[in-house]
Structure 1
Amino acid sequence: MIQTVIFDMDGVIVDTEPVHHYAYHEHFKQLNIEISPEMYSSFTGNSTKNIFQRLKDEFNLAEDVETLVNTKRNLFNDAFDSKEDLYLLDGVEDLIKDLHQNGMQLVLASSSAKVTINRIFNRFKLHQYFTHIVSGEDFPKSKPHPAIFQHAAMISNTSVENCIVIEDSTNGVLAAKAAGIYCIGYDSFHSKMQDYSKADEVITNFNELNYIRIRQINPS
């Protein structure tokens, strides 16, 4: 019986990708490096720290990873604060409220930094619905490594057999499955170049999910 729903954030709860895209590419210009669309899409689900570690190795960047991360984060924060047309994705707030009102435990497991998660949760008043928030910055390896989801299940005091994950990225789906957790892939028009073939099921709209539907999922 499903007791805990673990949500990814970017691309599942809110579409911050345009803001991230702007911040990353402004930073790439500053660093004078060119990133192909294929390489950029492979970053989805990775922590900023691990992305810049990869770029530092690939392009032999002089700056240390922490400096690179902070520069990009500042660009993101400036763009985020000035962006008025930022909304929760269609249907996700209704789903969150439905699950919460019916006693389902909700946990966030996002590759984003805590400061970014809190910025979004404060803006949309989401803290009240989630018992735990897990940030990818606390783990040495990003999705598709399963550590973030294993930890989310552990702190929720729920066995992986009684959890589900909602993810929009290839790396997130692979991480959920590596953790032994039933995974719903969210394939929206915001998703780009992502593979959901390993997901247990795929939805294209949150109106396909509700408390009763999720409660009936049998991961075995």
Structure 2
Amino acid sequence: MATAASTSSLITLKSNSALCCTSSLSFTATQVIKTPQSVSSSSLTSSINGCTRISGTVLKNNNGFRRKRSGVVCSAASSNLPKALLFDCDGVLVDTEKDGHRISFNDTFAEKELGVTWDVDLYGELLKIGGGKERMTAYFNKVGWPEKAPKGDQERKEFIASLHKRKTELFMVLIEKKLLPLRPGVAKLIDQALGSGVKVAVCSTSNEKAVSAIVSCLLGPERAEQIQIFAGDVVPRKKPDPAIYQLASKTLGVEPSSCVVVEDSAIGLAAAKAAGMKCIVTKSGYTADEDFLNADAVFDCIGDPPEERFDLAFCGSLLEKQYVS
């Protein structure tokens, strides 16, 4: 377990699957976390489903882990903040996949009378392929191309592009009507970053117009003006390739080691880690059971008060974290 008596003391928290700060959030990996003076070993004794839980102490000056009702907010004391906070879009800013992108794909297929429908489970499997055009191409290559599809490779590429363009138009209607809300805590964390001079970007395999619509319509024009978007075909290779995060790092003028990424999927996590960045996972509807062993932290969402999970200071603390085996 842990012992703690001073500001320099360390808590080692181990679990094969998770360290629970509340019943619904977790860290992965073995982490060494600095704690303030007021933490005592007696306050670090409870366990939930095999996960160590921090409880029972109100910490001085809100440093370290702040007591928050029945759980804690992950807000580690940090002299360092990330230089850039990079968000994936779908599943991180908005849980768009099942009732947004999937519906828009199906409506496009119906309009074109292709005789194709992607159900919830099938679409979950297809999400393992980054990029909508790539997703459709892989699907048709596997199950056979619709009768209305052209035969030549170049013509099929243009056919896929036209389907994706229409799908994006239908998806943007859903966003503009605000039928899909921001996930809890997204606006809060972005405001903390922008207010602290931390650069913010959205890095997504989705179409740039769709991502821009989400940022503009749901986060508002004032925030949108301060957020750089890297999306769609801006890089030749989609996640899990790190190209989009490498481009963001270079364009923003920030070293990868000073970036913290918020992702929701295993392929996004792989891209962030391959780019040399810290990565927090906020699980989404389709990704809850994916393997996030390499993540620096794993939560069910970012969260707004009084159900806040983590904040900008916690993101900064990841840049200073020590890990032990």
Question: TM-score, normalising length from structure 1?
Answer: 0.87
- Residue 189 of structure 1: CA displacement? 4.9
Question: Match of 1:208, SS?
Answer: coil
Calculate the aligned-residue CA RMSD, in Å.
Answer: 2.4
In the alignment, which residue of structure 2 is the partner of 1:22? 103
Find the aligned partners of 1:156 and 1:108 in 2 and give their Cα distance.
Answer: 12
**2:115 corresponds to 1:11:** no
Aligned residues: 218
Show the counterpart of 1:134.
230
Change (3 A) 1:42 1:195: farther
Report the 3-state secondary structure (helix = DSSP H, G, I; strand = E; otherwise coil) of the residue aligned with 2:124. helix
**Structure number with higher relative contact order (C-alpha < 8 Å, ≥ 6 residues apart):** 1
Does the 8 Å CA contact 1:108/1:133 hold for their aligned counterparts?
yes
* Counterpart residue identity of residue 21, structure 1: R
- Deviation for aligned residue 1:154: 1.0
| Structure 1: gaps of 5 or more residues | none
Structure 1 residues 200 and 113: CA distance shift in structure 2, 3 A = same
Paired with 2:234 and 2:173, the residues of 1 have a C-alpha distance of 24
Q: Deviations over 1:67-123 (max 9, x none)?
A: 221232233234444x44322111111111011111111111011111112211221
- AA aligned to 2:137 is Q
CA deviations 1:154-207 (Å, max 9, x no partner) are 111111111111000111111111212111111245645533223121012312
Q: Which has the higher strand share?
A: 2
Residue type of the alignment partner of 2:209:
V
Structure 2 gaps of 5+ residues are: 1-79, 150-155, 303-307
Q: Taking structure 1 as reference, are residues 128 and 71 closer, same or farther at Cα in structure 2, changes over 3 Å only?
A: closer
* Range 206-215 or range 72-81, more displaced: 72-81
Matched, 1:203 2:299: yes
- State whether residues 83 and 198 of structure 2, in contact with CA within 8 Å, keep that contact through their aligned partners in structure 1: yes
Partner of 1:216: 317
Contact 1:136 / 1:148 at 8 angstroms: preserved in 2? no
- C-alpha distance 67-203 of structure 1, shift in aligned 2 (>3 A): same
Partner of 1:169: 265
Partner residue, 1:47: 131
Change (3 A) 1:84 1:134: closer
Q: CA deviation at 1:219?
A: 6.1
C-alpha change, 1:32 and 1:192, in structure 2 (3 Å) is: farther
SS in 2 for 1:106: strand
**Conserved 8 A contact 1:52-1:68:** no
Alpha-carbon separation, structure 2, partners of 1:85 and 1:60 = 32
Instruction: Tell me, yes or no, if the aligned pair for 2:174 and 2:180 is still in contact at 8 Å.
Output: no
Deviation at 1:33, TM superposition (A): 3.3
Equivalence for 1:95:
189
Indicate if the aligned counterparts of 1:41 and 1:192 stay in contact, CA closer than 8 A: no
The 5 A counterparts of 1:117-156 are: 117-124=211-218, 125=220, 126-130=223-227, 132-156=228-252
Confirm whether residue 31 of structure 1 aligns to residue 108 of structure 2: no
Aligned to 2:68: none
Cα 1:56–1:141 shift into 2, 3 Å: farther
Q: Does the CA-based 8 Å contact 2:100-2:180 persist in structure 1?
A: no
Bigger Rg, which one: 2
